[in-house]
Amino acid sequence: MRIAMISEHASPLSALGGVDAGGQNAHVAALAAALVEQGHEVRVYTRRDDPASPPVDGTHGFDVVHVPAGPAMTLAKDDLLPYMGEFAEWIAADWRGTWSPDVVHAHFWMSGLAAVTAARACDVPVVLTYHALGSVKRRHQGVADTSPEHRISYECQLGRVVDRVVAQCRDEVRELRLMGVPRGQLALVPSGVDTTLFRPDGSAEPRDPDRPRVLTVGRLVARKGYEDLVRAMPAVPGAELVIVGGPPDGRLDDDPYARRLRALAERCRVADRVRLAGAVAAADMPRWYRSADVLAAAPWYEPFGLTPLEAMACGVPVVGTAVGGLTDTVVDGVTGDLVPAREPRELGLALRRLLGDDVRRVSYASAAAERAARSYSWRRVATRIAAVYASVAGPHLTSTESHREAVV
Ligand code: UDP
């Protein structure tokens, strides 16, 4: 199949860990690569945010097309809505040229708007993965939510007009049903993990062998619950908390949220046991996971949550909050422990208990690695996503393409 992916703000080529570069970027990159591996042709459209970017980057097995829409500079994702019309027009023009897709897969709601507009002009079926929902963000962040004003109503409408919505966890299915997305529109396919990279064996970052390590990873944003984790540390005596993510190490001092975390660690008298490591290149992440005794993930809400899954694939047990995708990936009492969100005391007790119980940790570790490899390999996930594409693109496939699909 010829697959167009739209990921307006989240380029599969970006460095991860910054405020707007995380799970979606990683997901789009890995899904595109896995689909190419299965014989599909993939073109990813992302907004051109750097004048030095080539129009098309084809060095990763799939094309990344840098769409000129708005200024060629980094903009916050919440400021991109005004450029989506231009983005859609450019893509539609591209599809009227020599390359037209059998299906378009939009990632995030604004990509959905661009996809629906371009696809209507070119008669291409649209699949949408939201990655995050405005209704959930608004519920948790209230007035701090900087999303464009009509995000929630756009998201509700998109769910009805696209050909299929791919939800990534059961919690998202429930939320989408509340938004009025018809059940028949929904497919549940989780995100995946590269089990050739994220695996239990291999080298690890150096660490102090006498100090248990609690690792947490992600974009340095409040909703990831880092403050709850710092507050939990007094209940976990002797252990260190390593926070990976945010700007690179040398620039952490300029980051207001990093400064806030450090000040909080001082107030909680755990500053000597809390270390901010800054952004780590995606390829080095397995080494960091393997250096940890436990991966802590304490988000207030989480659309999917790749980092717990990556840790599991590396054979690291998880202590996480019972929200969103974590309630699917982490099996409570088998591959990790789930605690309520925004409860530092419970979080601290769970960490302390697990760090103090070697047998339980070893048992969680092997169950976690097995679960990640069995249920979440990209090969398996890409096959399921391709089946979703085929179900909506069937009538649109060219005759040669349908013949090939029928034979395979
Ligand atoms: N990540 C990374 N380097 C960092 C911080 C994060 O490579 O310094 C990656 C991490 O390994 C994961 C992604 O960024 O693949 C974060 O995804 P997740 O779903 O956990 O969070 P999101 O960014 O979607 O909120």
Tens-digit pLDDT profile for residues 273-299: 999 999 999 999 999 999 999 999 999
Number of Cβ atoms within 10 Å of the Cβ of 140: 17
What is the reported pLDDT for 398? 53
2-192+377-407 is a CATH 3.90.1300.10 domain? no
**Strands, E assignment, 83-239:** 103-107, 126-129, 164-167, 186-188, 213-217
121: tokens are 């002009």
Atom of ligand 1 nearest to the CA of 221: 25
3-state secondary structure of 87: helix
Does residue 400 have a pLDDT over 70? no
C-alpha closest to that of 185 among 388, 395, 16, 407: 388
Q: Specify whether the CB–CB gap between 114 and 86 falls below 8 A.
A: no
Region at 167 (left for phi over 0; alpha for psi -120 to 50; beta for the rest): beta
Q: Whose CA is nearest to atom 24 of ligand 1?
A: 23
H or E segment to which residue 277 belongs: strand 274-278
From ligand 1's centre to the CA of 45, what distance in Å?
21
- The span from the CA of 236 to the CA of 265, in Å, is 13
What is the reported pLDDT for 358? 97
Does residue 203 have a pLDDT over 50? yes
Q: Is 86 exposed, middle or buried (0-12, 13-18, 19+ CB in 10 A)?
A: middle
Q: How far is CA 37 from CA 41, 65, 182, 195, 378, in A?
A: 9, 19, 32, 15, 10
Per-residue pLDDT tens for 116-170? Answer: 999 998 999 999 999 999 999 999 999 999 999 999 999 999 999 999 999 999 9
3-state secondary structure of 92: helix
Atom of ligand 1 nearest to the CA of 26: 15
What is the reported pLDDT for 313? 98
Per-residue pLDDT tens for 249-265? Answer: 889 999 999 999 999 99
Per-residue pLDDT tens for 171-191? Answer: 999 999 999 999 999 999 999
Atom of ligand 1 nearest to the CA of 280: 8
Q: Whose CA is nearest to atom 21 of ligand 1?
A: 23
Residue type (1 letter), 85: G
What is the reported pLDDT for 395? 67
Q: How confident is the model at residue 397 (pLDDT cuts 50, 70, 90)?
A: low
Averaged pLDDT, 305-333 = 98
- The span from the CA of 99 to the CA of 94, in Å, is 7
137: tokens are 């963000």
Q: Tally helices (H) and strands (E) across the chain.
A: 15, 14
- The span from the CA of 42 to the CA of 29, in Å, is 11
Percent of the chain with pLDDT over 90: 93
C-alpha closest to that of 322 among 10, 154, 116, 308: 308
What is the reported pLDDT for 402? 42
Taking the CA atoms of the chain, what radius of gyration do you get in angstroms? 21
What is the reported pLDDT for 325? 97
Q: How confident is the model at residue 18 (pLDDT cuts 50, 70, 90)?
A: confident
Averaged pLDDT, 19-24 = 87
Averaged pLDDT, 78-102 = 96
What is the reported pLDDT for 17? 73
From ligand 1's centre to the CA of 81, what distance in Å?
24
Does residue 393 have a pLDDT over 70? yes
- The span from the CA of 339 to the CA of 332, in Å, is 9
Does residue 364 have a pLDDT over 50? yes
What is the reported pLDDT for 408? 31
Does residue 207 have a pLDDT over 90? yes
From ligand 1's centre to the CA of 235, what distance in Å?
27
Which residues lie below 8 Å from residue 375, measured CB to CB, with a gap of 6+? Answer: 190
From ligand 1's centre to the CA of 27, what distance in Å?
10
Q: Whose CA is nearest to atom 10 of ligand 1?
A: 307
Averaged pLDDT, 305-310 = 97
What is the reported pLDDT for 51? 96
Q: Whose CA is nearest to atom 14 of ligand 1?
A: 22
From ligand 1's centre to the CA of 307, what distance in Å?
6
With residues binned 3-state (H G I as helix, E B as strand, rest as coil), the percentages for the chain, rounded to 5, are: 50, 15, 35
Q: Ligand 1: which of 307, 309, 329 to mutate, judged by most atoms within 8 Å of the beta carbon?
A: 307
Which CATH code, of 3.30.420.40, 3.40.50.300, 3.40.50.2000, 3.90.420.10, is assigned to 213-375?
3.40.50.2000
Does residue 302 have a pLDDT over 70? yes
C-alpha closest to that of 7 among 90, 165, 115, 79: 115
From ligand 1's centre to the CA of 100, what distance in Å?
32
Atom of ligand 1 nearest to the CA of 304: 19
What is the reported pLDDT for 112? 98
Region at 245 (left for phi over 0; alpha for psi -120 to 50; beta for the rest): left
Q: Specify whether the CB–CB gap between 340 and 346 falls below 8 A.
A: yes
* Averaged pLDDT score across all residues of the chain: 95
Q: How confident is the model at residue 355 (pLDDT cuts 50, 70, 90)?
A: very high
Averaged pLDDT, 111-115 = 98
Does residue 399 have a pLDDT over 90? no
What is the reported pLDDT for 19? 79
Higher pLDDT, 405 or 38: 38
Does residue 308 have a pLDDT over 50? yes
Positive/negative CA dihedral, 219, 221, 222, 226:
positive
What is the reported pLDDT for 394? 81
Does residue 8 have a pLDDT over 50? yes
Atom of ligand 1 nearest to the CA of 310: 11
From ligand 1's centre to the CA of 97, what distance in Å?
36
Average the pLDDT over each of 31-35, 97-101, 111-115 and give the range with the smallest value.
97-101
Q: Ligand 1: which of 9, 31, 77, 217 to mutate, judged by most atoms within 8 Å of the beta carbon?
A: 217
What is the reported pLDDT for 406? 35
The domain locations on the chain are: 2-192+377-407, 213-375
Q: Ligand 1: which of 193, 223, 306 to mutate, judged by most atoms within 8 Å of the beta carbon?
A: 306
**Same fold for the domain at 2-192+377-407 and the one at 213-375?**
yes
Does residue 228 have a pLDDT over 90? yes
Does residue 326 have a pLDDT over 80? yes
Ligand 1: residues whose CB is within 6 Å?
A: 16-17, 22-24, 26, 217-219, 244-245, 279-280, 282, 285, 304-307, 310
